[in-house]
Chain A
Amino acid sequence: MSFTRFLALIVLFFSSTLRASDLVYVPDNTDVVVQVIDASTNTVVSTVTVGDSPITVDFSPDGRRAYVVNNFGETVSVVEVATATAFATIPVGITPNGVAVSPDGNLVYVANAGAGTVSVINAATNTVVQTIVVGTNPTRIALTPGGQRAYVTNNEENTINVIDTSTNAIVATVPVGVSPNGIAATPDGKSIYVTNVTDGTVSVINTATNMVVDTIQVGPDPAGVAVAPDGRSVYVTQLGDDFITVIDTQTNTVTATFPVGTNPIDLAFSTDGSRVYVSNFTEGTVSVVETAGNTTVTLVTVGNEPYGLAVTPFSFVSGEARKDIFLTQTELFNRIMWTSPTVVSTVSEYRIYRDAQLSDLITALPASQFIFEEHNLPKDTTFSYFVTAIINDLEVEIGSVTLKTSD
């Protein structure tokens, strides 16, 4: 058992029931590894070996796979999150950089900076199915929440290419500031925020018109950008002065700035938006920032040059209210599904509760089971389910879901 794993278990020991948190994947750009941080303890719990010079990462929507772009290796490593192992390597274009997974998880888009192209990967076969020619030095790529459009930053051309993902054709080219790099879409899909490194600005693109509707002056060398899960704020890393700038998306004005580590290059929000993780490029650390007060709560040491990091939930719990309809009768039932907690592999049992206090146990299930159904339910009734995992005799809540039956 590693020391960090031991520390994690010590923390678990002091509470009978803990809530599972996120996993943060941090590519180490001067190495061949991705460091995995357990956000509940802010410790590195595993290291995944990938290709040469990993630079960015994105997750499939179900959190089961991570796609790591290897900048010098000119490949994409496909990582199984549950086992923290790369099981496939996909050759892409020259010096690939940004990556984005479609919302349905079927396609992966990779911006090849050296080739001036975007590779489209079929996630089922892990092969490149199409290569789209874009502008000069495409660095990052962002998809709208519905996945209909892909926005690519052409770093040496000062433009954004807009790709229609149904045809993979460029439908618009949007002029922005000098050296666009970071790019992120708001959760409602109405706006795209682009960092312009050289002129220290952030361009706001209206996705309905594909025109820049606002340009916000921020600090020197803005690089990474991320939109909070609630869509109310945008955080920008400033390589030049080691600060983060916070932008209010309603007014597109700067509302706060705060310091982090040296050369912050990228950032990502926790799934609940309460924290933001900043990779400090030359310092070899990740700053963990509470978004409520924009204060750094800890620094996590992660190799040499942490780059474009990403966050996925520790475990997914989902559910659906279902019905089985016959001619004269309908049976209503709820189906709850979950994924294995990804790092800890010693789950002995899953438990399903009806209440948040975990006092009303519905059932206990073996570790091999990831689905539970409750049958013969009354109509128009709301049910809540809380799923926990027993990990080394300790109970960890891995998620909850609320469902309403209807005929």
Chain B
Amino acid sequence: MKKLFPILAALVLSTATQLEAFCCISPEVEVAYFHPLSSRFRDIYGGGAIYTFELNVQTWCQLYTFANVSYFNESGRSIGEKNKTEITLIPVAFGLKYLWCCDCFNPYIAAGPLFTHMKTDDHSPYVIKKNEKWGYGATAKVGTLYYIWCNLFLDAFINYSYMCIGFDHVPSDKPVVRHDADLSGFSFGGGLGYSF
């Protein structure tokens, strides 16, 4: 968490600087279906909707800087005893996006580092009830923008995120076997944005 604040501060500062320089900014809201790659994740929680707010700032010609924050929450059942469990993920990502302008469709690719705050609530008297930790990974995205009216655009994308949070060495008062949480997965979805 301590590492994250300077990075986020730098990101905000950089975006603000770019806003002043180019004044081309595109806020966007996205909804996607998150498909986790870990079979354990899928067996416990399945997939689900992930909601994202993203800000894109033109950096140089077709190159943009993006920053986004997402929210994912799902309930599930443990494998075996089917005890209730809940997970909340707040991924924060930033990076570079390259946009091609071709008529009304503007395909793009994007990539950057990813920071995720994970929190689980496991309902069993024999396990650690709350687990909470930050982790970091990477994200890559391909998609296309479609301008529907003036500067209003639709976004269709596929996003891959790599994220693994280590719990192997986390001490606990309950004698359980700890393992890493693999949060990697694909997101398929769309968004609605506006270019200023």
* Interface positions of A (Cβ within 8 A of B): 322-333, 375-379, 407
Are A331 and B40 neighbours in the complex by a CB distance under 8 Å? no
* Chain B residue contacts of A378, Cβ below 8 A: 175
Are A324 and B80 neighbours in the complex by a CB distance under 8 Å? yes
Are B44 and A324 neighbours in the complex by a CB distance under 8 Å? no
Residue B61 at the A interface, CB < 8 A?
no
* Chain A residue contacts of B85, Cβ below 8 A: 326-327
* Chain A residue contacts of B122, Cβ below 8 A: 326, 329
Of the candidates A324, A325, A326, A379, the one whose C-beta lies within 8 Å of that of B120 is A326
Query: From B121, which residue of chain A is reached at the shortest CB distance?
Result: A326
Whole-angstrom CA separation of A34 from B127 in the bound complex? 51
With A322-B80, A325-B79, A376-B174 already in contact, the answer to whether A331 and B126 are too (CB < 8 A) is yes
Of the candidates A322, A327, A375, A379, the one whose C-beta lies within 8 Å of that of B177 is A379
Whole-angstrom CA separation of A377 from B177 in the bound complex? 9
Interchain Cβ contacts under 8 Å between A and B, 25 examples: A324-B80, A324-B83, A324-B124, A325-B44, A326-B44, A326-B83, A326-B85, A326-B122, A327-B41, A327-B87, A328-B120, A328-B131, A328-B178, A328-B180, A329-B122, A329-B131, A329-B176, A330-B176, A330-B179, A331-B176, A331-B177, A332-B176, A375-B126, A376-B175, A377-B175
With A322-B80, A376-B175, A376-B176 already in contact, the answer to whether A327 and B126 are too (CB < 8 A) is no
Residue B81 at the A interface, CB < 8 A?
yes
* Chain A residue contacts of B79, Cβ below 8 A: 323-325
Which residues 72-101 of B sit at the A interface, judged by CB distance below 8 A? 78-81, 83, 85, 87
Whole-angstrom CA separation of A377 from B126 in the bound complex? 10
Are B167 and A329 neighbours in the complex by a CB distance under 8 Å? yes
With A324-B81, A325-B44, A325-B79 already in contact, the answer to whether A330 and B131 are too (CB < 8 A) is no
Chain A: minimal CB distance from B103 (Å): 45
Chain A: minimal CB distance from B170 (Å): 8
* Chain B residue contacts of A326, Cβ below 8 A: 44, 78, 83, 85, 120, 122, 124, 127
Residue B128 at the A interface, CB < 8 A?
yes
Whole-angstrom CA separation of A381 from B124 in the bound complex? 22
Whole-angstrom CA separation of A375 from B125 in the bound complex? 10
